[in-house]
Chains A and B, each alone.
Chain A
Amino acid sequence: MKELSRQARDTLERGLAFDGPSAERRARVKARIIAALGGGAAVLATSSAAAEVASPLAAGAAAGAGKGLAFGSLLVWFGVGAVAGVAVSSVVVVTERARGTQTAETRAAAAAPARARVGAVSSARHGPTLPAAGPGESNAADSDEAASVAKARPAASPPPGLAPRASTASVASTSASAAPSVASPSPAPSAAATLSEEAGLLQRAERALAGNQPNAALSALAEHERRFPAGVLHEERQAARVLALCELGRTAEARALARAFVVKSPDSVLVPRLERSCAGPF
């Protein structure tokens, strides 16, 4: 097959050499997924898929039917559903996994010589993602930790639950404790724990909002602000506060907050949600 010209290849290589999300975005999206999957009412959900998943999840957790492996584990993390002492485990079709692994290996072996060499811009060559100047200290801590976690793992590790594990030691260690891992006393809280706490607070606010308890929402948001002033979910916090103020009929305050938000973050995905609130249109 005809390869790309030098000019076209340069365009790709040079253009994409430093392409990627900032550390702040990485941390923020993670926190939002956690908040959405944790069974929150997703009042602020801008993503359809997340909203779609959020409520069945909560229902499933209540019934103690932790079917989804990773969903289940996220719930355990938050202690949602796990308080009932439900150890979330998963059943996997072993033969299918074995077959899949074998096929993958065979393919890899066979693909080496047969592989159509269709390009030279390997993503590895794109270099490390550049750290963003993160505004929040929690961001920096998270991305550092995240980076070291990622490095410690094999290059192509499958998602949780898919990995053909050699050891089942983790079964015993996790299934025994239904308590969320964040609750375990640890001298240095992991970045993941911090993130889940932050997401948990926002989730509490969202649930309160969904349950028509705007005052409870405001107090959760105040706690969020106190503990995570520059947290990855600070935009979500401000938006939730606007909605809570609307619920309370404090329209002037809601409008002032919303305007400040729009001035500061005009491109935020939350702007349309605020437009539709009592504070909008802008």
Chain B
Amino acid sequence: MAAPPGASTRLAVTEVARVDDWSAFYDEHFDFVWRSLRRLGVAEAALDDAAQDVFVVALRRQGEFEGRSSLRTWLFGIAWNRARELQRGTRRRAEEPLPEALPPAAGLDQEQAAIQAEALRFVYRVLDELAPERRAVLVMAEVEEMTAVEIAEVLSLPVNTVYSRVRLARRDFEAAVKRSRAREQGRRR
């Protein structure tokens, strides 16, 4: 197809996207998006819907992706916005079901699998204690290893501010780990 009338030389018809491209894009990024939403505190029952929303928004806004950030950062930003919208509607959850663990890795015996599942539940219990933005900062900095520039972009913050936010997020996380461990030990006694 020709360029639409009025298109300047800055515009050029490049390609016809194929559904294979979308399909591969989805396959490549779905786990990351889904995992990020969970780590950002989206409730278990809402995860699939939220992931669907992120992909629909990404499709709709793909023209806005400018390559300033990495694709993952961009998707993470969309996920963060969606997670925040969902948080606005619901209050903090205390009696939410714990995260569903994946089927245990092959080769693990029952005991190891149980330990693995418990480690997963524990980390989410700890994350649930953090305020949403602190939690997001911790996940970006410590799990996704994003740079300060990338974190700044997701949160629309000045880069300088990010450093102090990361510090605070780490402090909160440390404290929450200690509290949760103490609680668990108290329960075992």
Q: Which residues of A contact B (CB under 8 A)?
A: 1-5, 7-9, 11-12, 14-22, 25-26, 28-30, 32-33, 36-37, 46-50, 53, 68-74, 76-77, 87-97, 99-101, 103-104, 107, 111, 115-116, 118-123, 127, 129-133, 146-147, 149-150, 153, 156-163, 165, 168, 170-171, 174-175, 181, 192, 196, 267, 269
Contacts of A146 in B (CB 8 A): 23, 27
Of the candidates B35, B65, B101, the one whose C-beta lies within 8 Å of that of A158 is B65
Complex contact B16–A157 (CB within 8 A): no
A4-B173, A19-B35, A73-B17 known; A129 vs B67 contact (CB < 8 Å): no
Complex contact B13–A77 (CB within 8 A): no
* Contacts between chains A and B (CB distance < 8 A), count: 292
Contacts of B11 in A (CB 8 A): 91-94
Task: Judge if B15 is at the interface, Cβ distance under 8 Å.
Answer: yes
Task: Judge if B109 is at the interface, Cβ distance under 8 Å.
Answer: no
Which residue of A is nearest B57, CB measured? A49
Task: Judge if B66 is at the interface, Cβ distance under 8 Å.
Answer: yes
Complex contact A30–B120 (CB within 8 A): no
Complex contact B149–A104 (CB within 8 A): no
Q: How far is the CB of A47 from chain B (nearest CB, A)?
A: 5
Number of residues in B with C-beta < 8 Å to the partner? 85
Task: Judge if B141 is at the interface, Cβ distance under 8 Å.
Answer: yes
B residues 89-112 in Cβ contact with A at 8 Å:
99, 101-106
Complex contact A29–B48 (CB within 8 A): yes
* 7 A-B interface contacts by CB (under 8 A): A3-B170, A25-B48, A89-B13, A90-B13, A91-B4, A159-B65, A181-B18
The 6 closest A-B pairs by CB, nearest first: A100-B67, A15-B123, A160-B21, A119-B142, A160-B17, A77-B19
